[in-house]
Structure formats: C-alpha cells, structure tokens
Amino acid sequence: MTLPSIFFHYDMPRQAGLLMFGGLLLLVQGCSPKEVDTAAIGFKSSITIVRETKPEFPAQALASYRELQQRCMEGRAGLAKAQGWTYEPATDAITDAGILALNTQKTEEYFDGAKYAIITTGTQFDSENFGVTQELNCKLLSMPFKSVEIRNGDCHSMNVEYDLSKSTGRRSELKGLCDKHKAPAIDQDGPTVTVAGTGQQCKWNKPDNGNPLHVATCTLLPEPVHAGTGRELLAIRKMTDYLRTSNQPMPGTTSMTIQAGLTIDQATHIDVGGAIPAAKFEFPADSATFGLEKIN
C-alpha cells in the first residue's frame, strides 16, 4: 500500500498545484498571463518576501490523514496475523502537530535591482515507506526538500538542487545565455487587504468567474510587479473556489476530501527598501561541496 501526498504545494518554480490522492490526479494550472514590457512597470527597490504554505483547512487535513493511517494500521494488523509476525499499532502514533508538519513549505524571495533569488525549503509526506507489508510501516513521516534559484540579470543564472536525504546536491551556472524576462500583466481589480504581521497591503487580482480553475493571488501595493526583475510581488495565494468548496468525501472514504489537501500561501515577512545580504545572490555556503556544471 503506497499512497502519495494529499497536499497542494506552491513549490515555485517546480510545482503549480498538484493534488494526488489514491487514484485521483488533479493538475491545476492557470492560463499563461499576457506579457508586457518590464521597463514600463513598477519600482526597483530591494524587496524581501517570505511566505509560508500551510493547510487552509487543517481540521479536514487532520481527519484525512487519520483515516489514511487507520486504514493502513488495520490492513497491517490483519497481514501480521495472517503471516505470523507482530505488529503494535501504538508504535505508529502521531500527534496532530506532527501531522500538520508533514507537508510544509517556506519560500523566500529576494529582489534587488536586476537580481532575484528564490529559496524554497520544506517537508513532504514520505509515501514511499508507508504501507501494510512487514518491510514498510504505517508511520506518517516526512522528507525535507530544498532548492535555490538565482538570477543576476537576463544573462546569468545559478541553480542548486538538494538531495537532503543523502546530504548531497548539484549546482549549475549559466552565463551568456540571455533570456529577456517579461513581466506578467496583473489585473489588481479585487479588494485591498492588510497582510497580517507584515505592515504591508496587497490587492487581490480580478476574479475570473468564468474559469473554475482560477487561482486567487494578492500582490503588493503600490505595484504588483518588481520593475528591476519583472517578477510578480506575491503576498498571498489560494486555490480556486471550485476546489475550496469541495468538501464531499471521496468515494469509499469518510474524511478524505479535496478540501483536506488544499493549502494557502501567505507572506509572514515583507521588507521594502531594506538591505539584502550579498550572499543571497551567491551559491549558498551549504552547497559548496556540490559538483558544479558551468555553461558559458
């Protein structure tokens, strides 16, 4: 018995909203935005945005994972009895806090002139070692992940992919391959809100009532795009209402709903105009021993 994570993640730039639960695979992607000239938009101030991704409906998430584990434990107990080995369900116990820590994400974005860096760290449910056989177990465990992307203008990029389970990774650096970044055209036609704990305000994008997969985003005021990098200044993002109202249990379950797998991505720290350490735009110190692929 091997089941994947039930959580959506905004793991930019690698993920766009992937829900996998049992045999259900749902890919949610918005339409590509129109492109506009970067130089015509916004300001070039240094900006730091730190966001955390958490379950939007924690009670439903807890209930779903509890049901998932209970089914595993019942199946494993039956298999242990049939095959003559011992299984103690108590060894797989987990607290509510432990369940909510299975799938986490922290996204740090740094903007300074033409320089941009994004550092993504977090945990994801370890489905590969979850199952009813004697070799596996019904523990709800997680695996850490981390990635770094750095852009120094249009012609210089640096990337780090970590394999934290093996304390290894790989680095790559591309110079001279110029790709002019085009800023997205963002229609800030929704309500203005204060981003809790940051002292900043953002404005929701215009709802697309005709698109059931519309993802709501709240971008910073007074400008939604950083002019120096041409990138969106995202403060809050949540999934489409079409999914957020999907609270009916999936067939054959009592607590596993799509709602249980939805997350909200929200800024916990925003700094406009503050100094950003130069190291944020360099290969991280913890990747110094990784192999480096250079393309000039």
The mean per-residue pLDDT over the stretch 64-79 comes to: 95
Among 122, 119, 121, CA closest to 151 = 119
What's the rounded Cα separation, in Å, for the pair 35 and 186?
A: 10
Q: Under 8 Å CB-to-CB from 292, ≥6 apart: which residues? A: 171, 172, 173
pLDDT at 43: 57
pLDDT in tens, 92-140: 999 999 999 999 999 999 999 999 999 999 999 999 999 998 888 999 9
State yes or no: pLDDT of 19 exceeds 50.
Answer: no
According to the model, what pLDDT value does residue 267 have? 98
Q: Look up the pTM and report it.
A: 0.82
The model's confidence at residue 3, banded by pLDDT at 50, 70 and 90, is: very low
Asked if residue 4 is part of any domain, the answer here is no
In percent, the amount of the chain with pLDDT more than 70 equals 84
Q: What pLDDT does 26 receive?
A: 28
User: Is position 134 within any domain?
Assistant: yes
Q: Does 20 score more than 70 pLDDT?
A: no
- The model's pLDDT over 252-277, given as tens digits with 9 standing for 90+, comes to 889 888 888 899 999 999 999 999 99
pLDDT of residue 11: 39
Q: What are phi and psi of 96, to 5 degrees?
A: -60, -40
Q: How confident is the model at residue 24 (pLDDT cuts 50, 70, 90)?
A: very low
Question: Is 221 part of any domain?
Answer: yes
Q: What is the pLDDT of residues 213-229, one digit of tens each?
A: 778 999 999 999 998 99
What's the CA gap between 197 and 268, in Å, rounded? 6
Candidate from 155-159, 178-182, 199-203 with smallest mean pLDDT: 178-182
1 located within any domain: no
**Which residue range forms the structural domain that includes residue 225?**
18-295
HEC sequence for the chain: CCCCCCCCCCCCCCCCCEEEECCEEEECCCCCCCEECHHHCCCCCCEEEEEEEEECCHHHHHHHHHHHHHHHHHHHHHHHHHHCCCCCHHHHCCCHHHHHCCCEEEEEEEEECCEEEEEEEEEEECCCCECCCCCCECCCCEEEEEEEEEEECCCEEEEEEEECCCCEEEEEEEECCCCCCCEECCCCCCCEEEECCCCEEEEECCCCCCCCCCCEEEEECCCCEECCCCEECEEEEECCHHHHCCCCCCCCCCCCCCHHHCEEEEEEEEEECCCCCHHHHCCCHHHCCCEEEEEC
Worst-scoring range by mean pLDDT, 19-28, 119-128, 194-203? 19-28
243 pLDDT tier (thresholds 50, 70, 90): confident
Name 43's Cβ contacts closer than 8 Å, sequence gap at least 6.
223, 226, 227
Amino acid at residue number 223: E
**d(C-alpha 144, C-alpha 162), whole Å:** 10
- Average pLDDT of the chain is 84
Q: What whole-number distance in Å separates Cα of residue 266 and Cα of residue 247?
A: 22
Longest dimension (CA), the chain: 72
Looking at the structure of the chain, the number of domains it has is 1
User: Does residue 142 belong to any structural domain of this protein?
Assistant: yes
Shortest CA distance to 296 belongs to which of 178, 209, 166, 137?
178
- pLDDT bin (cut points 50, 70, 90) of residue 203 is very high
On whether residue 71 sits in a domain, the answer given is: yes
69 or 33, which is more confident: 69
Task: Answer yes or no: is pLDDT of 47 > 60.
Answer: yes
Can the peptide bond before residue 13 be classed as cis, meaning omega within 30 degrees of 0? yes
- Supply the pLDDT for residue 84: 95
Residue 163, pLDDT > 60, answer: yes
Please say if the pLDDT value at position 29 is more than 50. Answer: no
**Amino acid letter at 181?**
H
Q: Is the pLDDT score of 187 beyond 90?
A: no
